[in-house]
Amino acid sequence: MFKLSEIKELIKLVDTTTVQELEIENEGSRLLIRKPNKTESVVVTHAPAVQPNTYITAPAVSAPVQVHTAAVQDAAPSAPAAADPTAGLHKITSPMVGTFYAASAPGAAPYVSIGDRVSEKTTVCIVEAMKLMNPIEAEVKGEIVDILVENGQLVEYGQTLFLVKPE
């Protein structure tokens, strides 16, 4: 198990270098420190007893650091997995990292709502990246079943934005 002082020291080291990710395994514990977009993430997993999510602030780190602890899962699942509720639905994903906008302007009606019918060329939202507004199209003909993000929310590459029931 890693000591808090050791984790803080490793965070300082990663923060002061160009290293983007550091992963260490020791005596059944795994420590992962990842620095995407100049913010640090720390994931620690332990085989035995586990504490819930813990948040710490390391003194020499520029941003708060979130420490996740989770039990290491066995390779064989103990129960069969539940059926995927999104099976048969088309996922419209973000092609880039950016900010999700449901409408063309503040106060304007959203491009689509749940229950709306769309075609392959229907614009469903805008993802702003580096001050460029990128319209996102439905890619499939069908009905909007779910909107998985909020207006103004940051989205990541490949993140599912909408679920569409294809026709």
pLDDT (tens digit per residue) in 77-87: 554 555 667 77
Split into its structural domains, the chain has a count of 2
Residue 98 located in a structural domain: yes
Q: Is pLDDT of 109 > 70?
A: yes
Please check whether residues 57 and 94 belong to one and the same domain: no
In the DSSP assignment, the letter for residue 5 is H
Dihedrals φ, ψ of 55, to 5°? -115, 130
Q: Is pLDDT of 62 > 60?
A: no
Q: Are 161 and 112 in contact (CB under 8 A)?
A: no
Please check whether residues 131 and 97 belong to one and the same domain: yes
Residue-wise pLDDT for 121-157, tens only, equals 999 999 999 889 999 999 999 999 999 999 999 999 9
Q: Are 42 and 67 in contact (CB under 8 A)?
A: yes
H or E segment at 16?
none
- Of the listed ranges 7-16, 63-72, 112-121, the one predicted with least confidence: 63-72
CATH label of the domain that carries residue 130 = 2.40.50.100
Q: Is pLDDT of 115 > 60?
A: yes
Please check whether residues 63 and 129 belong to one and the same domain: no
Please check whether residues 116 and 162 belong to one and the same domain: yes
| Residue 63 lies in domain | 4-71
Distance CA(46)–CA(18), nearest Å, equals 27
Residue 112 located in a structural domain: yes
Residue 65 located in a structural domain: yes
Q: Are strands 21-26 and 29-34 parallel, antiparallel or unpaired?
A: antiparallel
Long-range CB pairs of 5-14 (<8 Å, 24+ gap) are 7/31, 7/42, 7/44, 7/56, 7/58, 7/67, 8/56, 8/58, 8/59, 8/60, 11/40, 11/42, 11/58, 11/60, 11/61, 11/65, 12/58, 12/60, 12/61, 14/40
Distance CA(94)–CA(119), nearest Å, equals 18
Q: Is the pTM of this model over 0.85?
A: no
Please check whether residues 42 and 96 belong to one and the same domain: no
The CA R_g of the chain, rounded to the nearest whole Å, is 21
Higher pLDDT, 3 or 45: 3
